[in-house]
Amino acid sequence: MLRSMSRSRLVRSFALGATIAIGVFALRTIGARAQEPSPSAAAVAPAVTEPAAPAATASTAPVAAPAAAATPKPPDPTGAITGTAADVAVKDPANPTIAEVMETVGHNKISINFVWTLLAGFLVMFMQTGFAMVETGFTRAKNAAHTFSMNYMVYPIGMFGYWVCGFAMQMGGVGAVAALGGTAPLNSEFTINLFGHAFGLMGTKGFFMGSDVYDVGVYTLFLFQMVFMDTAVTIPTGAMAERWKWSSFLCFGFFMSMFVYPLFGNWVWGGGWLSTLGKEFGLGHGHVDFAGSSVVHMVGGMAALAGAIVLGPRIGKYTKDGKPVAMPGHHIPMALVGTLILAFGWFGFNPGSTLAGTDLRISVVATNTMLAGTGGAITSMIYMMWRFGKPDPSMMANGMLAGLVAITAPCAFVTASVSMLIGAISGVLVCVAVFFVEGTLKVDDPVGAISVHGVNGAWGVLSLGLFADGKYGDGWNGVPGTVTGLFYGDARQFFAQCIGTLTCAAFVFTSFYLFFKLVDVLIGNRVSAEVEIAGLDLPEMGALAYPEFEIATSTGSSGALPAPTPMPAPATAPVPAKG
Amino acid sequence: MKKLEAIVRPHVLDAVKTALQEVGIVGMTINEVKGFGRQKGHTETYRGSEYKVEFLPKIKIEVALADEMVDAAVEAILKTAKTGKFGDGKVFVSALDQVVRIRTGERGEAAL
Question: Would you state the pLDDT for residue A577?
Answer: 47
At A442, give phi and psi (nearest 5°): 60, 35
Chains A & B: contacts with CB separation below 8 Å: 54
Q: Does the beta-carbon distance from A448 to B47 stay under 8 Å?
A: yes
Residues from chain B contacting residue A561 (CB–CB below 8 Å) = 43, 50-52
What's the pLDDT score for residue A540?
A: 94
A65 part of contact set with chain B, CB < 8 Å: no
Alpha helices, DSSP H, located in A162-284: 167-171, 216-233, 236-239, 246-255, 261-269, 277-281
Residue A560: pLDDT over 90? no
Q: Which of B47, B53, B55 sits opposite A395 (nearest CB)?
A: B47
Measured between beta carbons, which residues in chain A are less than 8 angstroms from residue B55? 558-559
Per-residue pLDDT, A204:
95
What's the farthest any 2 CA atoms get from each other in chain A?
A: 101
Number of domains in chain B: 1
> CB–CB of A438 and B49 under 8 A?
yes
Rounded Cα distance, A365 and A388, in Å? 34
DSSP H helix total and E strand total for chain B: 2, 6
| Coil/strand/helix, residue A442 | coil
To test the contact with chain A by mutation, choose from B40, B43, B49 the residue with the greatest count of A C-beta atoms within 10 A, namely B49
> What local confidence, expressed as pLDDT, does residue A89 receive?
86
Q: Enter the ipTM.
A: 0.74
What pLDDT is attached to residue B40? 77
**Nearest residue in B to A330, CA atom:** B46
Closest C-alpha to A292, from A452, A458, A117: A458
Among chain B residues, CA nearest to A326: B49
Instruction: Give dist(CA A421, CA A487) in Å, integer.
Output: 14
Predicted confidence (pLDDT) per residue in A489-499, tens digit: 999 999 999 99
Q: Touching check for A28 and chain B: CB below 8 Å?
A: no
Contact list in B for residue A323 (CB cut-off 8 A) is 49
pLDDT per residue as tens digits for the range A430-462: 999 999 999 999 999 999 999 999 999 999 999
Q: Are strands A197-203 and B29-35 parallel, antiparallel or unpaired?
A: unpaired
Res A28: pLDDT: 58
d(CA A281, CA A286): 8
The answer to whether residue A388 neighbours chain B at the CB level (below 8 Å) is yes
Residue A557 has pLDDT above 90, yes or no: no
Residue A151 to residue A139: CA distance in whole angstroms? 13
Indicate whether A401 belongs to any domain: yes
Q: Which residue of A has its CA nearest to B49?
A: A326
* Domain span including residue A262: 110-549
Distance from CA of B86 to the nearest CA of A (A): 20
Q: Maximum CA pair distance of chain B?
A: 59
Task: Quickly state the pLDDT bin for A73 (edges 50, 70, 90).
Answer: confident
Indicate the residue of B45, B50, B55 with minimum beta-carbon distance to A559. Answer: B55
| A332 contacts A133 by C-beta, under 8 angstroms | no
CB contact under 8 A, A558 and B43: no
What mean pLDDT, rounded, does chain A reach? 87
- 10-residue mean pLDDT profile of chain B (112 residues): values are 95 95 94 87 86 90 95 96 92 96 93 88
| pLDDT interval class at A500 (50, 70, 90) | very high
CB atoms within 10 A of CB A455: 26
| Contacts B46 to A, Cβ<8 Å | 326-328, 392, 394
A192 is a domain residue = yes
- Of the listed ranges A84-98, A227-241, A349-363, the least confidently predicted one is A84-98
CATH number for position B71: 3.30.70.120
| Confidence (pLDDT) at A108 | 95
Torsion angle defined by CA atoms of residues A20, A22, A26 and A29, in that order, rounded to the nearest 10 degrees:
110
pLDDT band at A85 (very low <50, low <70, confident <90, very high): confident
Q: What is the pLDDT of residue A199?
A: 95
Tell me the percentage of chain A whose pLDDT exceeds 70.
83
Domain CATH number, residue A449: 1.10.3430.10
Q: Which residue in the set B45, B50, B54 is minimally distant from A559, CB to CB?
A: B54
Tell me the per-residue pLDDT of A109-159, one tens digit each, with 9 for 90 and over. Answer: 999 999 999 999 999 999 999 999 999 999 999 999 999 999 999 999 999
Check residue A21 and give its pLDDT. 57
Evaluate if residue A505 carries a pLDDT over 80: yes
**Taking a contact as any Cβ pair under 8 Å apart, which residues of chain A between 498 and 557 contact chain B?**
557
DSSP state at residue A313: P
Residue A197 has pLDDT above 70, yes or no: yes
Which domain, by its residues, includes B67? Answer: 2-111
Percent of chain A with pLDDT over 90: 78
> For chain A, what is the domain count?
1
**Residue A78 domain flag:** no
Chain B residues within an 8 Å CB radius of A559? 41, 51-55
Assigned domain for A74 exists = no
Q: What is the pLDDT, as a whole number, of residue B54?
A: 86
Q: Do A560 and B34 touch (CB under 8 A)?
A: no
Distance CA B83, CA A269 (A): 66
**A163 pLDDT exceeds 90?**
yes
Contacts of A388 in chain B (CB under 8 A): 45, 48
Is the per-residue pLDDT at A165 higher than 90? yes
Q: Which residue of A has its CA nearest to B52?
A: A561
